[in-house]
Amino acid sequence: MSLFDIKDRCALVSGASSGLGRHFAHTLATHGARVAVAARREGQLLALEAEIGALGGRVLPARLDVTDRDSVAACVAAVERDFAPIDILVNNAGVAITKPISEQTEADWDTVIDTNLTGAWLLAREVIRRRLEDRRTCSIINVASILGLTATARVPAYCASKAALINLTRALTAEVARHGIRVNSLAPGYIETDLNREFLAGEAGQKLVRRIPARRFGVPEDLDGALLFLASDASRYVHGSVVTVDGGQTASL
Ligand code: NAI
């Protein structure tokens, strides 16, 4: 068996309807995992199911709003009932609200913290409860950001949520590593997705790219190695870490 083997493992990816989550689902499925793709937009999930299914992958669409504790519990229960116990949880759902601080509302703050931090905590808690009960191991991958290690203007809640997610990762590790439950953070730098492609190609983006030692933005495929590493037994003694994939951006601050 290869070190990075994830064949037949059951993965759940939150926020899988677009961007990196969609890509993570593809990567895990094409490497043989059964993947529950979870998000609010069911239409997108059905399209993703058909797309990955056509490549021979096994996918289960699951409705999930990470800001709703009942939805989180129902989603995990449905995936474990219809698929298998979750071996790999990718806490990917996330939002950013970009505005100057004087224009940020409490609702903006709550939306970002509820999604990026509390949502990841709710999903992790649900999966951990089940793994402690059935004494199976699992790997939880919290998709943080280099903005959890450093910061930038006009996204205060986002920076705070990702920093807290990185420390939540460590706190959970301190408690559950002894049970074979691994919790790690994946911290991408600027990765081109549909959402930011226009911005990254513009003037501000071109200024930004000059501060990245690799002199380019990432593409989703640049995260595949780190994802498969954290998901598989290749990282079996890696607990509570932050794996940064950013073209050297944080190394050169
Ligand atoms: P995206 O906006 O395409 O994806 C976010 C996904 O989360 C969407 O599918 C959205 O529907 C889902 N989502 C949002 N709120 C949700 C909720 N309440 N319940 C369930 N799903 C919800 O953005 P992208 O870029 O793919 O981001 C994915 C993750 O990667 C996020 O956590 C983001 O913070 C992180 N990230 C992205 C970077 C980038 O450059 N694209 C860099 C660093 C981190």
**Average pLDDT of 33-55?**
97
92, 185, 219: residue to mutate for ligand 1 pocket, most atoms within 8 A of CB: 92
Q: Is 143 in the pocket of ligand 1 (CB under 6 A)?
A: yes
**Average pLDDT of 243-247?**
98
- C-alpha triplet 167, 33, 47: angle, nearest 5°: 95
- pLDDT tens per residue across span 120-140: 999 999 999 999 999 999 999
Q: What is the pTM of this model?
A: 0.98
Helix or strand (DSSP H, E) at 131 = helix 119-134
Beta bridge partners of 140: 89, 183
Spot the catalytic one: 158, 190, 217, 229.
158
Beginning with the edge strand found earlier in the chain, give each strand of the sheet holding 88-91 in spatial order: 58-63, 34-39, 10-14, 88-91, 138-143, 181-188, 242-245
**Burial readout 229-246 (b: 16 or more C-beta within 10 A, e: otherwise):** bbbbbebeeebbbbbbbb
DSSP code for 218: B
Q: Is the dihedral of CA 95, 19, 6, 231 positive or negative?
A: negative
Q: Is 95 in the pocket of ligand 1 (CB under 6 A)?
A: yes
Give the Å distances, CA to CA, from 217 to 34, 143, 156, 163, 251.
30, 18, 22, 22, 15
pLDDT at 195: 77
Q: Is 66 in the pocket of ligand 1 (CB under 6 A)?
A: yes
Whole-number Å distance between alpha carbons of 230 and 207: 32
Atom in ligand 1 nearest the alpha carbon of residue 191: 40
- pLDDT tens per residue across span 71-121: 999 999 999 999 999 999 999 999 999 999 999 999 999 999 999 999 999
Nearest to 173 by CA among 191, 185, 162: 185
Q: Is 17 in the pocket of ligand 1 (CB under 6 A)?
A: yes
Q: Is the dihedral of CA 196, 200, 205, 210 positive or negative?
A: positive
pLDDT at 240: 99
158: annotated active-site residue: yes
Task: Judge whether residue 1 has pLDDT over 70.
Answer: no
Q: Average model confidence (pLDDT) for the chain?
A: 97
Would you state the structure tokens that stand for residue 232, as one six-digit string?
């598989």
Distance from first CA to last CA of the chain, Å, rounded?
Answer: 40
pLDDT at 194: 82
pLDDT at 152: 95
Helix or strand (DSSP H, E) at 139 = strand 138-143
pLDDT at 202: 95
pLDDT at 253: 85
> If one looks up domain 10-244 in CATH, what number appears?
3.40.50.720
- pLDDT tens per residue across span 133-164: 999 999 999 999 999 999 999 999 999 999 99
12, 14, 17, 20: residue to mutate for ligand 1 pocket, most atoms within 8 A of CB: 20
- For residue 136, how far is its CA from the centre of ligand 1 (angstroms)? 28
Q: What is the largest CA-CA distance in the chain?
A: 55
